[in-house]
Amino acid sequence: MNYYLGLDIGGTFVKGVCMTAEGNLLAEEKCDTGCEHGGAVMCDNIANLCAKLRRKVKGDLNGVGVGCPGMIESVRGVVKFAGNLGLKDYPLGDELARRLGVPVKVTNDANAAALGEARFGAGRSFKNSILVTLGTGVGGGIIIDGKLYEGGCSVGAEIGHMVIERNGDMCTCGRRGCFERYSSASALTRYTKHAMEEDAGSAMWGKYTSQTCTGKTAFEFMDTDRTAKEVVDWYIKYLACGLVNLANIFRPEVIMLGGGVAAQGERLTKPLQAIMDKEIFGGNNYAKVLVVPASLGNSAGAMGAAALCLE
Amino acid sequence: MNYYLGLDIGGTFVKGVCMTAEGNLLAEEKCDTGCEHGGAVMCDNIANLCAKLRRKVKGDLNGVGVGCPGMIESVRGVVKFAGNLGLKDYPLGDELARRLGVPVKVTNDANAAALGEARFGAGRSFKNSILVTLGTGVGGGIIIDGKLYEGGCSVGAEIGHMVIERNGDMCTCGRRGCFERYSSASALTRYTKHAMEEDAGSAMWGKYTSQTCTGKTAFEFMDTDRTAKEVVDWYIKYLACGLVNLANIFRPEVIMLGGGVAAQGERLTKPLQAIMDKEIFGGNNYAKVLVVPASLGNSAGAMGAAALCLE
C-alpha cells in the first residue's frame, strides 16, 4: 500500500498523520516543536515523528508534505519568515528531505488546511472553495479549480489582511482595519469582554467574568441576554463583510469556516448565509456561494499537508 | 497570414480591432452599439463591423473574441445581465457566431482589458498581474500564471465591490463602502467638487467651477493649491487601501492602473508605490508588487478580447 505523511507545525506541537491518497487515516502522532532550540532541533524532532509513524504502518512512503506557519516560499520549501517559530530564510524542505531521504513539499499552514478541507472535508464536492480560519488571527486558503492557490511567489492568500474598515483598529501587520482585527476568535472575545464591562446587568456575569469569557460566551447567552445577542450580531456583521468581499473576488462555490468559533454551526452560518445571499454582487440567482463549517477540525492542516503530494 | 478580431462593446460604441497573435494591429473600426434597439440589432451592427474589418485585411480569420460589460457567463458566452445594454440572459456568443460563421468567445469587458494589458501592454513581462480600471466605477481583471482568472462561474473578479470602509457610502451594488465608491474617477470628481464648494479661495476656481471640474482638476492644481493637494492625497489613500488589499490576496508582480486617471502617471503611481512598499504584508523584500500605469489606453479591451482566442 502506498501512503503519505502530512505534518502540521504549530508553535508548541507538530501533528503528524499517515494516510492514503483517498484520505484514510492510518496513523497519527505528535511531538514537541522545540523551535526554541532552533530549526535543526525542530527538524530532528519531526524526523523522529516521521520514523514513529512509519513504524506503525506497512507499505511504501510516497511523499511527505508540511504545513508551516509564516511566509513560505513553497517552490523551494523555504520559510522566508515565521515569527513564532523564530525562523528566517530557513530551508525547511531541504533540511527535512535530507533527514528523511525523500522529497518534502512545504506550504503555509493555512493553505495546507484549506487543501485538506477541499480534498477530504467540507469542500470535497466543490472545485472552488475558500477556507477561512477564525483563530488568534484570520487565516485562510484558496482552492481554484481543485488546486491550491497560494498567490504570486506563494505568499499571497493573506485574506486576514484585507482592510474592511479604513482607519480602523491597528493590526499586527502595520495597517489599520484588517479583516482579522474584527473577525478572529480573539476579536470576538475582546468584544465580549468589552460588552460585559459596559453592562453590569448582563446574564453573562452569572457564569463568566470579563477575564474568563471566551469566544463561546456570547453565543452561549445569545438567546437569553440582549448584550450577548448584540455581541454575536456585531461579530457576524464584520465577518460577513469580509466573506462577501471574498465571494465577489473569487466567487467560490463554498466558503468554509474553521477554528473554534465554527463549532457554533448554524448559529453562525445561517445569518452569514442570509447576508451573503442578500449582498453578493449581482445577486445569488447565478453562482450562489455557500457558507458552511469546515469538517476536519484540527486534522485539516496535517491531512492537507499530505495532500500536497497529490497535487 | 492568420488574424484575430477583438470587439469591445461599450454603451455607445463598439470598438473592433483586427490583429495578429503577436499583437500587431492590422485594422481598427468602430460602430454604434445600438443596444437601445435590442440585442439582435446590436449583433447585426457588430457583424457589419466585423465584415468591414475583414475587407481591410488579407489572410485567414482564426477567431473572434468579445469583451462585454455586465455579468458574463463566459463558458457559454451568455450575458447574464448587462444593465446599461439592457440585456439579460442573452446568448451573445451564439448570436454572433451564427452571424459570423465562426466560434466567438465572450468575457467581461474589464477582464478583456486586463488580458490585453497582460499580453501586449504594461503587464507583458509578468505572469501575474492585475488591471484596476478607474472610470465611472472601478473595474478590474486578474491574470494568474499568464491566464485570465474570472472567478467561479466566470463572475468573480469584482474587485470594485470589495468593501474597504464598512458602513461607508452607498454603492450601486447595494452594499456600503465599496472600493469603487472611493477610488473611481467619478469619486475623484465628487471629492473635487465638494472640496471646491468648501473652499471659496481655492485656486481651482480660477479655471473651473464645481460643475465643470473633473478627475483631472485636483491633479492640475496640486502643486499650487492646498485644497487640490488634499483632494489628491485623500484619493490616493483610498486607492492605495484597495490596491494593498489586492496585493495581499494575489501578490501579483504588478498592478496596472487604467482609465483616464492613470494618465497622471508618476503623480499617481509614485505615492501609491510608497504606500504599497510600506504596507504590503510581510514587507517588500520578497515578492515586491509594482504599481504602474496601463499602456494600451482604450485599445486594451478590444486587443484583450482578440487575445481570448489565444488562451
Whole-angstrom distance, CA of residue A130 vs CA of residue B7: 34
Amino acid at A192: T
Instruction: Determine contact: A238 vs chain B, CB below 8 A.
Output: yes
Instruction: Determine contact: A21 vs chain B, CB below 8 A.
Output: no
CATH superfamily name and code, B2-109+299-310: ATPase, nucleotide binding domain (3.30.420.40)
What residue segments make up the domains of chain A, in order of their start?
2-118+299-310, 124-295
Fold agreement (B2-109+299-310, B122-295):
yes
Q: Which residues of B touch A144 (CB under 8 A)?
A: 144, 149
> CB A166 to CB B238 under 8 A?
yes
Q: Which residues of A touch B164 (CB under 8 A)?
A: 163-164, 166
Instruction: Determine contact: A88 vs chain B, CB below 8 A.
Output: no
pLDDT tens-digit series, residues A121-160: 999 999 999 999 999 999 999 999 999 999 999 999 999 9
Whole-angstrom distance, CA of residue B218 vs CA of residue B234: 11
Per CATH, domain A2-118+299-310 is 3.40.30.10? no
Region A191-211 average pLDDT: 97
Question: Residue A311 pLDDT more than 90?
Answer: no
Query: For A162, which of B152, B249, B282 is closest by C-beta distance?
Result: B249
Instruction: Determine contact: A277 vs chain B, CB below 8 A.
Output: no
Whole-angstrom distance, CA of residue A8 vs CA of residue A50: 12
Q: Give the pLDDT band of residue A250 (cuts 50, 70, 90).
A: very high
Pairing relationship of beta strands A104-108 and A60-68 according to DSSP bridges? parallel
Chain B nearest CA to A195, separation (Å): 21
Q: Give me the CATH topology for the region A124-295.
A: Nucleotidyltransferase; domain 5 (3.30.420)
Mean pLDDT of successive 10-residue segments in chain B (311 residues)? 95 96 95 95 98 95 95 94 92 97 95 98 98 94 97 94 97 96 97 97 97 97 98 98 98 97 96 98 92 96 96 81
Dig out the grid coordinates for B7 from the structure: 470587439
> CB B241 to CB A166 under 8 A?
yes
**A8, A61, A154, B129 from A73: Cα distances, Å:** 16, 24, 6, 19
Whole-angstrom distance, CA of residue B311 vs CA of residue A29: 46
ipTM of the complex model: 0.95
Question: According to CATH, what is the number of the domain B122-295?
Answer: 3.30.420.40
Region A177-191 average pLDDT: 97
> Chain B 140-169, CB below 8 Å of chain A: which residues?
144, 149, 151-153, 155-159, 161-166, 168
Whole-angstrom distance, CA of residue B293 vs CA of residue A86: 39
Check: CB of residue A138 under 8 Å from CB of residue A179.
yes
Instruction: Determine contact: A245 vs chain B, CB below 8 A.
Output: yes
CA B86, A275, B157, B218: dihedral to nearest 10 degrees? 80
Check: CB of residue B284 under 8 Å from CB of residue B276.
yes
Name, in order, each residue with C-beta under 8 angstroms of B128's C-beta and a sequence gap of 6 or more: A152, B143, B144, B145, B250, B251, B252, B253, B254
Burial (Cβ within 10 Å: 0-12, 13-18, ≥19) of residue A140: buried
Whole-angstrom distance, CA of residue A302 vs CA of residue A112: 7
Dig out the grid coordinates for A264 from the structure: 457554533
Chain B nearest CA to A234, separation (Å): 12
Taking each helix axis as running N to C, give the angle between helix A92-100 and helix A39-56, from 0 to 180 degrees, rounded to the nearest 10: 40
Chains A & B: contacts with CB separation below 8 Å: 124
Whole-angstrom distance, CA of residue B236 vs CA of residue B261: 11
> CB A249 to CB B156 under 8 A?
yes
Q: Give the pLDDT band of residue A167 (cuts 50, 70, 90).
A: very high
User: Which among B162, B172, B238, B276 is the top mutation candidate for probing chain A, defined by the most A β-carbons within 10 Å of its own β-carbon?
Assistant: B162
Region A195-210 average pLDDT: 97
Query: For B249, which of A73, A159, A244 is closest by C-beta distance?
Result: A159
Q: Which residues of A touch B245 (CB under 8 A)?
A: 161-163
